[in-house]
């Protein structure tokens, strides 16, 4: 298996020639109770040369600024700095917030890492080791960490380590662009040649277009052997549903054909369709095929979850079954509503994404008043 391979330890001579890495941490507020622990994990990375640049969106977020400065003071041996206030290059607030980090980066490798990510000490080394001569970008398979394991958290874990991982790993194996920018490392010179990070600010789904740009320039995009450690302190079914709908909306806008084909990756759609084929070809009644199909998918997703977790999942089998059924039923609401969506909310702002990914910001509370930046 590609995942969870042991990280090769570099000797002192090789560590000297490892390229430096600039880590950009875009931050907006202190609402996540796990934020401090997540940020602290980046000060203890087992990598010889890196800098951390914290990008705080609001200049008036004094409490957040004080927390970050406190961490910097606690780890004086780590090169870290803070920028406050986002630049207005385009509609994407995350890209706008990271521009200060990108334009002041002193190293050739650039790591984008969301606020909710917790990193193991050897993760950065693992990602750099995957960045071989012909590789332009290394991304991580999204994974939800255990946390308090309330039911909403289990639903997220089951989806990320089951249905989502199934599609993500399959797409990656087939060379299909599937990268998410919650944690990705890339060669900064590739983006510099095209005008820098500012060119991504017109897209709300900047991760897809960053990865596609790198692919189009002849570089490979590969998967790290360590999954991402998503560690949010707040987790609800409502926020999970909103996240799924936003991601699906952006995928459909970037690749409209997915509107037709993505439902075929879901058991709740594929089960009835394959039952028709099974009944026609092998005379297997649908009332036998569909339950067997459902149980088989649930079991296979549990096995895949164990692979992603590198061991038995922390939740019980019964919890897996409940969460799996709830997530499957949620797609009956999510998919048709996303197809009908004409705008998306993110960070308190409203956007409309045109086919092809270009994004417009909705202003003045008027869904027809659009500004393209």
**373: enclosing H helix or E strand:** none
Decide if 20 contacts 111 (C-beta within 8 A): no
Tell whether the torsion through CA atoms of 250, 196, 46 and 79 is positive or negative.
negative
3-state secondary structure of 277: helix
Q: How many CB atoms lie within 10 A of CB 364?
A: 8
User: What are the two backbone dihedrals, phi and then psi, of residue 136, each rounded to the nearest 5 degrees?
Assistant: -100, -25
Decide if 49 contacts 21 (C-beta within 8 A): yes
CA-to-CA separations, 141 to 144, 160, 324, in angstroms, rounded:
10, 9, 19
3-state secondary structure of 95: helix
How far apart, in whole angstroms, are the C-alpha atoms of residue 157 and residue 228?
A: 12
Catalytic-residue membership of 126: no
Decide if 45 contacts 92 (C-beta within 8 A): no
Tell whether the torsion through CA atoms of 92, 93, 95 and 99 is positive or negative.
positive
Decide if 227 contacts 309 (C-beta within 8 A): no
Indicate the Cα dihedral angle 35, 38, 40, 44, nearest 10°. -170
- The two structure tokens encoding residue 210: 């960053």
Backbone torsion region of residue 232, taken as left when φ is above 0, otherwise alpha when ψ lies between -120 and 50, otherwise beta: beta
The catalytic position among 114, 126, 207, 301 is: 207
Judging by DSSP bridges, how do beta strands 359-362 and 349-353 pair with one another? antiparallel
- The two structure tokens encoding residue 174: 């087939």
Residue found under tokens 């450690």: 229
Residues that are catalytic:
207
């Amino acid at each position: 298996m590609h995942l969870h391979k042991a990280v090769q330890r570099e000797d002192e001579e090789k560590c000297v020639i490892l390229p430096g890495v600039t880590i950009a941490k875009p931050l907006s507020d202190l609402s996540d109770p796990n934020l401090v622990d997540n940020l602290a994990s980046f000060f203890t990375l087992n990598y010889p040369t890196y800098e951390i640049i914290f990008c705080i969106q609001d200049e008036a977020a004094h409490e957040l600024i004080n927390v970050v400065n406190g961490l910097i003071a606690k780890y004086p041996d780590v090169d870290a700095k803070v920028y406050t206030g986002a630049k207005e290059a385009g509609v994407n607030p995350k890209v706008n917030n990271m521009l200060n980090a990108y334009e002041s980066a002193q190293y050739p490798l650039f790591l984008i890492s969301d606020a909710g990510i917790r990193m193991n000490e050897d993760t950065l080394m693992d990602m750099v080791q995957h960045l071989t001569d012909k590789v332009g970008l290394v991304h991580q398979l999204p994974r939800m960490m255990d946390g308090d394991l309330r039911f909403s958290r289990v639903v997220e874990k089951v989806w990320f380590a089951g249905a989502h991982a199934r599609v993500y790993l399959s797409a990656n194996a087939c060379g299909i662009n599937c990268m998410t920018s919650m944690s990705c490392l890339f060669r900064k010179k590739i983006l510099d040649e095209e005008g820098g990070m500012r060119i991504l600010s017109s897209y709300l789904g900047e991760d897809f277009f960053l990865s596609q740009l790198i692919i189009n320039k002849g570089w490979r995009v590969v998967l790290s052997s360590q999954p991402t450690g998503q560690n949010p302190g707040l987790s609800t079914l409502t926020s999970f549903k909103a996240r799924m709908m936003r991601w699906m909306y952006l995928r459909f806008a970037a690749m409209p054909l997915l509107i037709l084909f993505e439902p075929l990756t879901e058991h709740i759609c594929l089960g009835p369709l394959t039952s028709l084929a099974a009944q026609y070809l092998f005379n297997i009644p649908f009332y036998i095929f569909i339950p067997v199909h459902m149980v088989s998918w649930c079991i296979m997703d549990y096995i895949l979850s164990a692979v992603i977790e590198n061991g038995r999942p922390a939740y019980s089998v019964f919890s897996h079954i409940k969460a799996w059924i709830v997530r499957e039923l949620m797609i009956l609401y999510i998919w048709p509503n996303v197809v009908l969506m004409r705008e998306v909310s993110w960070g308190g702002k409203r956007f409309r994404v045109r086919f092809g990914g270009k994004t417009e910001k909705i202003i003045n509370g008027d869904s027809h008043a659009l500004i393209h930046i």
